[in-house]
Chains A and B, each alone.
Chain A
């Protein structure tokens, strides 16, 4: 009888030991000014996490597997990248620095590549790697059977099974880019991307459908099937965004149909799970917040605005007591103030903003599958990402909450 770990035996790994493979080891000091910290973490991300236009959510440095620092959990790469696109867009809008626009354009091209690598218009990968053979992390993290060899880009492998979370991230990131940063050519490309991505969802009865024709594990916005109230909110935001960016009537009529026939606006009011407490998860708050950012700016109907505001109040009931342990909670307060006009951003929130920190590089031990089917424990360094800090900072700078001198 094989042991459980033998499921990883199909993975072939060549360990390459190379010292200092990470390009950038320059971390800010804790007492550096906020703008210096943000700039240095941004540089660390661009140097160590960059992968042909997308940002790796997590990087495990050599010797744990590869000669370059691009190995780690990758299921949220698409989301982190879309968040960075929003961050660079706010940076450009706040500073008009052409460098910010250049970064944003490159990141948007990375998102286009996440679609191109799948070979199916409107199907977007969670992540990709330039490699002919499976990498060890494919077998260890997330769901190994969701990695595929690309037919449209030979020499690449991509991870499928995109979730509703990434639907929100992409609509949020690309629409923020469209609104605040993109030039005319890139506006057209951004609109075309959203048209393919959201349009495919519509063509499949409001479901995210993978390359094999099956709905993805978490891709259900369908009115004919049971779904979570949060997903109703997310689909309304996606459709309103697609209409805003493309002007195509099909998105507005679908949006209206979901409201009038299926009462998605009412369902959306319950997007925040308050009870029981064990069923509340922080990332749902983040998804809802991004959806509100789109809906409350693009919608003009006072009745619908009232509904969405009511939904956000349910979130605010929880957010108002935030201890700001996570940087993104600062963003929730700023967002709520921008969208409602209520003066809720106080001293505690701004102090927390001044203290934001990206990530520390930590040591970890990783179970790396070997050719013979066994596992080998290898110690290596690991970096998470500074997405929450980056997005919160540039949103705060752009909307006047954060001073450039801090």
Chain B
């Protein structure tokens, strides 16, 4: 397995300065986890062309949902939302417009691509939220596996579950090339929003934390698509 940690000495220094001491870590709201400010390795030189170049990105500190938004919570927001009785799982087949409206209604927002990827893979450039190994037992492989209920029950470095598999998760970012990427694509621009993390119906390739997928804002294209939210620190 190949990966290229590109945290330079400068990057490491920034990271060191950005690390919170235990006394300063804010208490996350219920069912959310804290992600500190600082740089991380984003993208990949070994995935799709839109993932390259691997680069350093930086985020502010933020809170992010531990789990994907559930059926039950989404139904409280949209009574017309239909799901099978007793299926206490993630909300699925949700458009970007619906997800963004939901997030706003609960005082949160959708994560940017940077925020999503950092929450999923931490700062050590790992391939998946749990590390670099692949096995199907790490992911919610089908609808029978509830949120946070995979066999390995592995979380991301910051404590998020199901950031690989389950449902593809909406981000707030338009599908655009990273700086320095010169491979053209007619889909780039402010036409599509980026989804991350793969879903039930995916190859291991799509579960990698750097993988990007894109969809229009008003449809899921029948892909299993849901979301999780972030909240800014006050």
Q: Mark A residues whose CB is within 8 Å of B.
A: 1-4, 7, 10, 140-146, 207, 212-215, 217-220, 222, 224-228, 279
Q: What residues on A are CB-neighbors of B134 within 8 Å?
A: 226
- Given A7-B95, A212-B187, check contact A146 B221 (CB 8 Å): yes
Q: Please state if B48 and A215 are interface contacts (CB–CB under 8 Å).
A: yes
Mark interface residues in B125-149 (1 if CB within 8 Å of A CB, else 0).
Answer: 0000000001010000000000000
7 CB < 8 A contacts A-B: A7-B93, A143-B221, A145-B216, A213-B185, A217-B202, A220-B205, A226-B134
Cα–Cα distance between A213 and B52 once the two chains are bound (Å) = 12
Q: A141: nearest residue on chain B (CB-CB)?
A: B222
Cα–Cα distance between A144 and B221 once the two chains are bound (Å) = 5
Q: B219: CB under 8 A from chain A?
A: yes
Closest CB in chain A relative to B3 CB, distance in Å:
10
Query: A224's contact among B46, B81, B93, B98, by CB below 8 Å, is which?
Result: B46
Cα–Cα distance between A207 and B47 once the two chains are bound (Å) = 10
Q: A214: nearest residue on chain B (CB-CB)?
A: B48
Q: What residues on A are CB-neighbors of B101 within 8 Å?
A: 1
Q: Please state if B205 and A222 are interface contacts (CB–CB under 8 Å).
A: yes
Closest CB in chain B relative to A272 CB, distance in Å:
15
Q: What residues on A are CB-neighbors of B80 within 8 Å?
A: 1, 3-4
Q: What residues on B are CB-neighbors of A146 within 8 Å?
A: 221
Q: B204: CB under 8 A from chain A?
A: yes
Cα–Cα distance between A1 and B208 once the two chains are bound (Å) = 33
Cα–Cα distance between A207 and B46 once the two chains are bound (Å) = 12
Q: Please state if A1 and B206 are interface contacts (CB–CB under 8 Å).
A: no
Q: What residues on B are CB-neighbors of A1 within 8 Å?
A: 77-78, 80, 98, 101
Q: What residues on A are CB-neighbors of B2 within 8 Å?
A: 224
Q: B203: CB under 8 A from chain A?
A: yes
Q: Please state if A145 and B219 are interface contacts (CB–CB under 8 Å).
A: yes
Query: B220's contact among A7, A212, A220, A224, by CB below 8 Å, is which?
Result: A7
- Given A7-B95, A217-B202, check contact A145 B82 (CB 8 Å): no
Q: Which of B1-35 contact A (CB under 8 A)?
A: 1-2
Closest CB in chain B relative to A222 CB, distance in Å:
7
Cα–Cα distance between A144 and B185 once the two chains are bound (Å) = 20
Q: What residues on A are CB-neighbors of B203 within 8 Å?
A: 217-220, 227
Q: Interface extent on B, as a size class? A: 35 or more
Q: Please state if A226 and B218 are interface contacts (CB–CB under 8 Å).
A: no
Q: B207: nearest residue on chain A (CB-CB)?
A: A226
Task: Known A-B contacts: A3-B80, A4-B82, A215-B47. Give 17 more (CB < 8 A).
Answer: A1-B77, A2-B98, A7-B219, A141-B222, A143-B223, A146-B221, A212-B187, A213-B49, A213-B183, A214-B48, A214-B49, A220-B204, A222-B205, A224-B46, A225-B46, A226-B1, A227-B205
Q: Please state if B222 and A10 are interface contacts (CB–CB under 8 Å).
A: no
Q: Please state if A212 and B221 are interface contacts (CB–CB under 8 Å).
A: no
Cα–Cα distance between A219 and B219 once the two chains are bound (Å) = 24
Q: Please state if B185 and A217 are interface contacts (CB–CB under 8 Å).
A: no
Q: What residues on B are CB-neighbors of A143 within 8 Å?
A: 221-223
Q: Please state if A217 and B201 are interface contacts (CB–CB under 8 Å).
A: yes
Cα–Cα distance between A220 and B204 once the two chains are bound (Å) = 8
Q: What residues on A are CB-neighbors of B201 within 8 Å?
A: 217
Cα–Cα distance between A2 and B93 once the two chains are bound (Å) = 12
Q: B42: CB under 8 A from chain A?
A: no
Q: B72: CB under 8 A from chain A?
A: no
Q: B172: CB under 8 A from chain A?
A: no
Q: B215: CB under 8 A from chain A?
A: yes
Q: What residues on A are CB-neighbors of B208 within 8 Å?
A: 225
Q: B68: CB under 8 A from chain A?
A: no
Q: What residues on A are CB-neighbors of B234 within 8 Å?
A: none
Cα–Cα distance between A224 and B205 once the two chains are bound (Å) = 10
